[in-house]
Amino acid sequence: MCAPSILAISGDTGAMPVLNGSSPRESEPFAATYTYTVSEPLKPMVLAINLVPSLAQKNGQHALALDLQWNAPRQWNAEPLEIERILSLTLDVPAAWGEIERVSSEAITSNLGNGFQRIAWSQLELDREHHNWQRNCRSFTLHFRNTIDCSQTITAHAEVQFQGALSGIAGVDLFSPLGTRTKSALGKPVTVVTTDFTICLAHLRYQDTRVVPDLKLEADNARPKVASYPGIAPNHLTVGALTEALSGRNIYFKRIIENPPSTGEHARHHHRYWDIGGRVYTSIYPIDFHLVLSGEEGYRSRAPHPCDTTHISLAVQGAFANPAMEASITKLWDELHTTIDLLLNKQGDAPPEASAPAHSAASVAHDHADADTLALDEWLPAPMIDAEHFRTRLHDLHDAIGRGELSLEDVQDELQDIAAELDQAFDDDEMLQNEVGGSS
């Protein structure tokens, strides 16, 4: 598109031979001479309108986005013309893409019968308050039922109207044969740019984010969002075992954060929460994972061993541009989940005595008593009073009262529970002493 060359022709009627008397014949030839300078060839103008396609993200390659961009045409050093409206935009796409489920702005769709379908917009006004106005752009989005095949080609036809004319003409005056100016209004000049497009989609790159598990996907229904492991304490030992097991996979741990433990319904129950984040690289592409370890750690009334429960929530997230990259994201979740599941189930199957602290009299006697005492300890039950256990409960109760987490009624219930356990322990201990030879 080039600016036109214009040569203004002017003169005086007195120079004509038939009018100045230099020739009596009306058909005398009249030659007018003008001088002009040939300038350098004008550079072609940039294309006034462009149509740029892209694949919209988070739509499973079902959505096509089109940006109609305009570059205001201008003549030499004159002001560029301002766009007025989009007169029409017609898009022909393959019918194999399926029916159009959603489309931005009002459009008319029709089946051309030759394997293509047509989408047409007309008389589109432009909102100068819209953020795309600053980008000299108008966006269109089409969502198809089937997947978009990027190996195919689409065509488009656009007509855009600009205010003013490239020639700089602001209007036209008409004169009658007698030389008087008429008063008829001829309207304002406009410039209409018409362009046909043939668009190849082969170089478009679709990129999306995959989060595993995604409950909206049927394939992720078998992947649990939270897994529970009874008998496993959510403490630093469990976290250490997990990180050690996962570190063999060339995993980069970005953070391991423990939130301050909080007291549950009873002062001896602690709720724990660990936040673990990391990253795995597949070639140069990062895949992030987020592991949340939470649960309850503590003792229940008259329970000989801790009543612990650990809950594991695992999420993996990464960007992908092809099916192979998406498969690597789901594969990482499956591998991490399998490693965690095997480790915690193995710990849960171990007998409680293997990991529980030795508080029995037999374990103490083996360290400090002679053979006769050891023989006696083999049938003696453990002492019924566990001083460390009650000291811990009272300490936790004191902390809970200081933090204001327990009401007065809860404090009274807890103290009564401790007193009842102490009474029972003393009664059982006195009975035991009487059985083995009296009180000391």
CA 179 to chain CA centroid, Å, is: 72
**Residues for the chain: how many in total?**
440
- pTM confidence score: 0.51
Strands 226-230 and 309-320, bridge-based pairing: antiparallel
Q: Quick check: bond before 213 cis, omega within 30?
A: yes
Neighbours of 278 (CB within 10 A): 20
Q: How far is CA 71 from CA 81, 95, 247, 290, in A?
A: 9, 32, 55, 46
Instruction: Please tell me whether residue 386 adopts helix, strand or coil conformation.
Output: coil
Burial code of 312-341, b = ≥16 C-beta within 10 A, e = fewer? bebebbbbbeeeebbebbbebbeebbeebe
Longest dimension (CA), the chain: 164
Do residues 269 and 296 lie in contact, with contact meaning Cβ atoms separated by under 8 Å? Answer: yes
For residue 3, what is the DSSP state?
A: P
Positive/negative CA dihedral, 142, 153, 192, 83: positive
Please give the backbone phi and psi of residue 387, each rounded to the nearest 5 degrees, phi first: -60, -40
DSSP string, 150-201: TTSEEEEEEEEEEES-TT-------B-TTSPBP-------EEEEEEEEEEE-
Each residue's pLDDT expressed in tens, for the chain with a length of 440 residues: 444 556 666 777 777 777 777 777 767 777 777 777 766 666 666 778 899 998 887 667 788 989 998 887 776 666 788 888 899 999 999 999 988 888 887 888 888 888 899 999 999 888 777 776 777 888 898 999 898 888 889 999 999 998 888 777 777 777 777 777 777 666 788 889 999 999 998 888 777 888 999 888 888 888 888 999 988 888 888 999 998 888 877 788 999 998 887 776 666 677 889 999 999 988 888 999 999 999 887 755 444 455 678 999 999 999 887 888 889 999 999 999 999 999 888 876 655 444 444 333 333 333 343 444 334 334 344 445 566 666 777 777 777 777 676 777 777 777 777 777 776 665 554 544 454 444 44
Domain extents in the chain: 49-200, 208-355, 361-436
Q: Which of 86, 55, 83 is nearest to 71 (CA)?
A: 83
CA distance 42 to 358: 95
